[in-house]
Chains A and B, each alone.
Chain A
């Protein structure tokens, strides 16, 4: 049983309480039972009204996404029918005549809130932690249970559109202000009483968009409904759709179909009556739900992310471990950031640096972030103090005694690491793990500095640590499953997402990311307009253009990495990134930190491309198309990820996908670097890679593994 049915004082109380799912969700199990319960109440002449509520802490969390993924390959007509069945159920709630009240006891999202919208009255329990909203857009979907139709009809087009486009949730009090709920009450008892009172006071409710057919006496949609605060064809509509569409396009670059479909549902749906509008929404829902983009977002960014966060890559045979005391060597930007996120998770942190000032400064970083949170009102002083007290800045190695995990985040020099690793390692508890935050040095090599290479692992954070959700765990030749389990348990504890990679030059993220920067430089060297390069990258969905991001990385570092690549025999001196970075180091234009790189960085105002680029790289008469530049920038990264996967550098497809999106902002609509190949189609991908290899160089040549997949 998923749903309880009870009669109290001639009122049917339908209580969601799913046993097959941890949370109440709309799926193949719950929807039919809900329908049966409703029908029972409609049919019972003694029942005067219906209350819909939940026995769980949350009301209804939304639709079951696995159900949507399952339906992705279905015939669109079948999917439309599934969607229309649910919509007919909702519409029947509105039109069958008896009052239905949603008693919203907790969080209600997506399809759950659409159940509430179909009710005649919404009463929410006052709890600031309760979330109310329509977050479908975040998964590439749209509110397909009448949400795009009922919400704007209820609160107006301009109020409803941002809620659906941003998918943001609100508290019960905010929902009351917005008109998303009608009443907020303090206790569960009050909620149920208020629901009963409303039912008694409103025996025959009628939605403002409905009317009673004079001949049949039935409730039906009315044609001349006026949308509160303005119809589609009005100045309100012009603002909402002419400007609103532009804003959506600026944000999505046209890469995500759902936000535009939401606008179209409102634009088209609100020009007809509700009965005719619902199928319009349903058709857009089917298109969007079947889109590759929605599938990718659900697979990678929802189901995939959840499973990675639960430790999907963790060796199963090792029992759960817990880091209670953490040592950090080096209190620079990375060390200080790691200290902050660890203390936030309740871990005792020893932050060691060579000078007391440096160590204190590292702790000060946490103080600054906590003060910000206090100023915003998201944290109280006592809690902030308790968090700060967890961080012990020190210069003494002995303070590290008893650490479960020590992470070195010192300068990227083997000589320095050769000093600090042997010095700190003996302070670990028995079975303690040593981690290195290096982003460039192979872990197997560093592990030789350790007495216990099997307990040595790479724990690569990204900057800024408090914002970047990914941690790349690098398994060296000798790293044990135990060490990996400890590292994953630690990353889970600080609520970040772990991916696991095998040791290799640049690991996974740096190696793929650098191809993006490098392809930007290849384009520049060919005489492609740098404005086109940067804009094409952004239109492809990258957060920052390749030239801008290279400036941020800094060209002296690019030069250092390229030089090392030449020393290792992986690159030749003809390499474009080597030549350009060498030249720019000579010019003194090493990037953002020098306020001069590919861009100029004025003290006031935004950065702009350096005018001298035109002399360094004269713009060719013939320019490639926008699509070609986009293709080169994305394919190059995806192909490198394929190589990493085939070489065994990255262990799972999911880790490769998540790593690319979370580490360097590879566009999520593609599903990530490896999913990108299927997004394009393997055959097409190989064909295009071959074409580009012939045109631009062997770096685009597809792997034999890819050819086998065709």
Chain B
């Protein structure tokens, strides 16, 4: 089997996902165009050699609709022979794109490919694509589908994570992100976003708030308590009748930030890399997706990680560094507790709570951050994992080469 190598990874900074965010005036196709152009230019690529571009996007409507991957390929000035496809596996889309790209390379049907994702949450708000999953009354009622925040609070309730526990985790995410930003640890993958006149609009992740503490977070009001009272807690508890209630511990400060951003990773066979004189950074050695109970929804990273490790013939201790998406603070807490992973190995440069979670792009951003840190600290193995709407999980294992 051909092995899938990663040659480069590029990502935009993450801008606050509101109308006052620095990237709000940038169209999502432009974010993706910047990523594609940087990948081309940094590697001096003949884009005619690229077979396909796979991009995750979770709200593919409006200006993110109509196959934004092919649109960006055209807009970036890539060879017209390069195809493009957009996919949606919710929050894992960016990593899913990479796994699919890797699978294509491994199967020998593709030699060089770009995978990643994009989401301008300030311009195309989350959830505006509707969907039967959360709206069709028969499906919602049968499967007890609730908003993710309720699910995260349900995990915290079931596993006993108090408000202080989740706030402590969140404050640490902010602290690590602040340190990483100050130490310029994101620079290798990060490309600034400039306007038409060449002025830099944003060159750093905008949501990092130095000085965030457990005490400052304690002042925030639970975000899902009021909707929980509108029947949603009751719906979730129909599946968890041994619980009296759901403790609402998550809020804006210990949940992932809504942001704009994009990312792309260049993946190819060893032969193609050698032909182009590219230096491989890592290879993708195993990946997995799983479906889990859809009401609690967000427990997937644990079984997905176990499945990927099984495929790789590895144990949890064989992984040196982890990126576990901080959709909500309870998710990494649950991951570390269930798999016995020390916090010193997980999200060492902070996570989505401090840095933001541009839905379709996050999987690729986490991978880029993971590779950069593996190289910086000379670690051999890394694993990226995300929880996914609808009750799914994804995990990918990377091994450094060269």
Which residues of A are in contact with B by a Cβ distance under 8 Å? 232-235, 237-238, 241-251, 253-254, 260, 263-264, 267, 529, 531-532, 535-536, 539, 608-609, 623, 626
Contacts and interface: CB of A to CB of B under 8 A. Distances in A.
Given A245-B141, A531-B243, A267 B231 contact: no
Interface stretch (B132-140, B151-159, B277-285): B132-140
B227 A243 contact: yes
A404 B376 CA distance: 98
A251 B144 CA distance: 14
Contact of A247 (B144, B230, B241): B230
Contacts of B340: none
Interface residues of B, number: 26
Contact of A250 (B127, B138, B231, B243): B231
Contacts of B234: 246, 249-250
Contacts of A235: 128
Given A246-B231, A247-B230, A241 B238 contact: no
A539 B241 contact: yes
B99 to A, nearest CB: 30
B244 interface: yes
B138 A264 contact: yes
Contacts of A246: 140, 146, 230-232, 234-235
Contacts of A263: 137
Given A237-B130, A246-B146, A531 B244 contact: yes
> Which of B140, B145, B232, B244 has the most C-beta atoms of chain A within 10 angstroms of its own C-beta?
B140
B141 A243 contact: no
Contacts of A253: 238
Contact of A245 (B128, B140, B227, B243): B140
A465 to B, nearest CB: 31
Contacts of B232: 243, 246
Nearest to B241: A535
A448 B135 CA distance: 65
B299 to A, nearest CB: 20
A142 to B, nearest CB: 12
Nearest to B236: A246
Interface of B: 127-128, 130, 134-138, 140-141, 144-147, 227, 230-232, 234-235, 237-238, 241-244
Nearest to A268: B136
26 contacts: A233-B130, A238-B130, A238-B135, A241-B135, A241-B140, A242-B134, A242-B135, A242-B147, A243-B232, A245-B137, A246-B234, A246-B235, A247-B231, A249-B141, A250-B234, A250-B235, A254-B238, A264-B138, A267-B135, A267-B136, A267-B137, A532-B241, A532-B242, A535-B237, A535-B241, A535-B242
A249 B134 CA distance: 14
Given A237-B130, A248-B137, A249-B144, 10 more contacts: A235-B128, A237-B135, A241-B136, A245-B140, A245-B235, A249-B231, A267-B136, A531-B241, A531-B242, A532-B241
A97 B136 CA distance: 36
Given A233-B130, A237-B130, A248-B137, A243 B241 contact: no
A250 B236 CA distance: 10
Contacts of B136: 241, 264, 267
A389 B93 CA distance: 76
B143 to A, nearest CB: 11
A536 B241 CA distance: 7
Contacts of B138: 260, 264
Contacts, number: 81
Nearest to B150: A246
A292 to B, nearest CB: 18
Contact of B241 (A237, A248, A267, A626): A626
B289 to A, nearest CB: 25
A529 B227 CA distance: 28
B242 A623 contact: yes
Contacts of B242: 529, 531-532, 535, 623
B155 to A, nearest CB: 18
Interface of chain A, main secondary structure: helix
B262 to A, nearest CB: 26
A623 B241 CA distance: 12
A238 B134 contact: yes
B272 to A, nearest CB: 43
Contact of A243 (B144, B230, B244): B230
A623 B243 CA distance: 13
A609 B230 CA distance: 23
Given A241-B136, A242-B134, A531-B244, A539 B238 contact: yes
Nearest to B139: A245
Nearest to A251: B231
Contacts of B147: 242
B246 to A, nearest CB: 13
A430 B4 CA distance: 103
A413 to B, nearest CB: 40
Contacts of B238: 249, 253-254, 539
Contacts of A242: 134-135, 140, 145, 147
A249 B145 CA distance: 11
A98 B277 CA distance: 80
Contacts of B134: 238, 242
Contacts of A608: 244
> Which of B128, B135, B237 has the most C-beta atoms of chain A within 10 angstroms of its own C-beta?
B135
B219 to A, nearest CB: 23
Contacts of A232: 130, 135
A247 B235 CA distance: 8
Contacts of B237: 535
Nearest to B128: A235
B294 to A, nearest CB: 14
4 closest Cβ contacts across the A-B interface? A246-B231, A247-B231, A250-B234, A263-B137
B231 A241 contact: no
A529 B242 CA distance: 7
B225 to A, nearest CB: 14
Contact of A244 (B130, B137, B244): B137
A241 B230 contact: no
A243 B130 contact: no
Contacts of A529: 242
Contacts of B128: 235
A608 B244 CA distance: 9
> Which of B137, B235, B241 has the most C-beta atoms of chain A within 10 angstroms of its own C-beta?
B137
A537 to B, nearest CB: 10
A241 B137 contact: yes
Contacts of A244: 137
A242 B241 CA distance: 21
A232 B131 CA distance: 11
B376 to A, nearest CB: 43
A234 B131 CA distance: 10
A539 B232 CA distance: 15
Contacts of A609: 244
A623 to B, nearest CB: 7
B137 A260 contact: yes
Contacts of B243: 531
> Which of B147, B232, B243 has the most C-beta atoms of chain A within 10 angstroms of its own C-beta?
B232
Given A237-B130, A237-B135, A238-B130, A254 B241 contact: no
A234 B230 CA distance: 19
B213 to A, nearest CB: 30
B135 A248 contact: no
Contacts of A243: 227, 230-232
Contacts of A532: 241-242
A609 B244 CA distance: 9
Contacts of B230: 243, 246-247
